[in-house]
Structure 1
Amino acid sequence: MEQIDTEKREGRERIITRRLIKPRLNVHYPQVVGLKNGLVRRMINNSILDAVYDLIRLQGYVKDPAKTMTGGYQVKLHRNGLLSLLYDNYGYAQGAAHGMTYQSSQTFNLEDGSEYRLEDLFKPGSNYVDRLSDIIRREFKSRDIPMLTEFKAIDRNQSFYLTDQAVVIYFQLYEYTPYVYGFPTFEIPFHDIMDIIDPNRPIGRLLNAQTEPAPA
């Protein structure tokens, strides 16, 4: 592994890119540096590595010696002590009609190292599953997205990431749509779900920071 790049900064911590190189494998992944709390830094970085290796295992890298693999990531949010990451991993086996890409994501609290699940964003008892599912169901129809199977509802802890303005829900290739469509992705603006957002959790933290007056 080698450090090859630096990415976005916020305060004292920053995100650097490292690269995992093996035969048939070239994966770029993020690591957090500069946090004062070494335990928190290790917790987050170890969790990131676990997610990266989970995608490698999902691709069947070890079991299939004909498969080559590349991977990368995007920083979707890095502010106010929050970090939201999206990973992708592409694998291609010799002779296959096309390769296969998988995505995963993580959202961290940079102060204590905790990783948020989707349910952590919303008020207890808010029935966020039905609320988000209704929005996504309408989007599937209004965007006239071709479907392999009917969408009924998201999982209780559906994969997601955060941006400055929205919670983003996505699904894997073939999960609901044909391969050529790509990853069905649904950006749900915070202002559309304000009544179920927990003001003391990640989204509330972002919104409070955005409305705070600038220091004199």
Structure 2
Amino acid sequence: MASLFQLPVQVETETVTSPGVTIYTPKLSGLRSPAVQKKLNAAFSGLTALLFNEQKKYQTGTLQEMTGHYEVKTNERGLLSLIATNYAYSAPMAHGYTVAESLTCDVNSGDFFTLSQLFKPGSGYVELLSQHVKVQLQRRKLPLLNPPFKSVWPDQNFYLADKALVLYFDLLDITPYYVGFPMFPISVYDLLPIAAEGGPLDILAVDVS
């Protein structure tokens, strides 16, 4: 495979504040295609709005604090993967609550990837990923709300981080609140046999050149 080197894209931060509220949103600049840049930035703004609205399901009292931020997990080889979170606390709730969503995209085409698109059609990726999660649950001794763990979802939340696919579950999906967001990194090398040819996992697995 030819060299995949590509400079990281420039990620700036857009900040919105009001009393008790601070929201940070990623904003790309300097992309070769203005149309792609506009599309991706619209998606990031939409992600921020989605998390804000999602919190309304949990915040039943008087809002005291809300913080929205993001972390860039991969910014290389034309791929950008990030996770955004929104934490809020309303009185008289016992504790705050956090919601999270992630996006993975091709910064050249503007395409976003679903979990299934990372793998070959008919690869049985759900079963393989579920087995990886089961092994990590046992090794890390994570408590489960409804044992035993059965399976990841076909559209399981994920992001890419260097040489790994990271699957994660929302608060209270499979583990108690105090565990936080259970995350399960899986090496891209373990997934290469079923990875889509020329897809994100395939690209990240290539050695430096």
Aligned to 1:15: 11
- Percentage of matched positions with identical amino acids: 34
Selected match of 2:125 from 119, 124, 128? 128
Structure 1 runs not aligned, ≥5 long? 1-9
Check conservation: 2:26, 2:70, Cα contact below 8 A. Answer: yes
Check conservation: 1:12, 1:35, Cα contact below 8 A. Answer: no
Check conservation: 1:80, 1:205, Cα contact below 8 A. Answer: yes
Q: Given the superposition, is the C-alpha separation of residues 133 and 19 from structure 1 closer, same or farther in structure 2, using an over 3 Å criterion? A: same
State the AA in 2 paired with 1:93: S
Aligned to 1:163: 161
- Distance in 2, Cα, partners of 1:194 & 1:56: 36
Q: Given the superposition, is the C-alpha separation of residues 12 and 72 from structure 1 closer, same or farther in structure 2, using an over 3 Å criterion? A: closer
**Cα deviation code 1:26-77 (max 9, x no counterpart):** 111111100121110011010111111111001018x857123111110100
- Distance in 2, Cα, partners of 1:141 & 1:13: 38
Structure of greater relative contact order (alpha carbons < 8 Å, 6+ residues apart): 2
- Distance in 2, Cα, partners of 1:99 & 1:158: 24
Bigger drift between 73-82 and 94-103 goes to 94-103
Residue 72 of structure 2 is aligned to residue 75 of structure 1: yes
Q: TM-score, normalised by structure 1?
A: 0.88
RMSD of aligned alpha carbons: 1.8
State the AA in 2 paired with 1:102: V
- Distance in 1, Cα, partners of 2:42 & 2:19: 23
Structure 2 runs not aligned, ≥5 long? 1-5
Check conservation: 2:74, 2:160, Cα contact below 8 A. Answer: yes
Aligned to 1:195: 193
State the AA in 2 paired with 1:183: F
**Cα deviation code 1:101-142 (max 9, x no counterpart):** 111100010001111000111111101001101110121122
State the AA in 2 paired with 1:138: V
State the AA in 1 paired with 2:167: I
Aligned to 2:24: 28
Residue 33 of structure 2 is aligned to residue 54 of structure 1: no
Q: Secondary structure at the match of 2:165?
A: strand
Alignment: residue pair count: 202
